[in-house]
Amino acid sequence: MQVKAVSKNTGVPASKVRLYLDLVRGKKVAEALAILRFALSPAAVHVAKTVKSAAASAENNFQMEPDALKIVKIFADGAPMMKRHKARSRGRVSPILKRSSHITVIVGDQEV
C-alpha cells in the first residue's frame, strides 16, 4: 500500500527543493528525517514536513507500521509564480519571477 502527501505553494523554488529530494529518495522515513534535520535550509524544512505528513497519514489512516515505511517516490513540480517588475535604466523594466513549488511524497511498506 502506498500513501501520498502533497505540500502546495511552498514558496521555495523547485530547483532548490530538488537538491534535498535527491538526498532522501529511496530511504526509510526515519533515516530521511534524520538527514533533513541537519540540513539548514528552508527547502529541507518543507521536505521534512511533507515526509512527516505522509508517514503520519500512513500510520493513522491505514495502520501501517512507521518503522517499515520507505519513501517510494518523491518529486517537486513548479507552482504559480509571483510576477514583479524592477525599474531599469531608460524607462524600461525587468521582470522578477518569485518561483514556488509543489512537493509530493509517496511512502509505502518496505519490500522484504
CA dihedral 23, 28, 31, 35 (to 10 degrees): 20
pLDDT in tens, 8-44: 999 999 999 999 999 999 999 999 999 999 998 999 9
Band the pLDDT of 112: cuts 50, 70, 90.
Answer: very low
The model's pTM is: 0.90
Inform me whether the pLDDT recorded for 48 exceeds 50. yes
What is the chain's mean pLDDT, rounded?
95
pLDDT in tens, 59-96: 999 999 989 999 999 999 999 999 999 999 999 999 99
Q: Structural domains in the chain?
A: 2-109 (3.90.470.10)
d(CA 107, CA 52): 10
Percent above pLDDT 70 for the chain: 98
pLDDT of residue 111: 61
- Stronger pLDDT, 103 or 111, i.e. the higher one: 103
d(CA 88, CA 67): 55
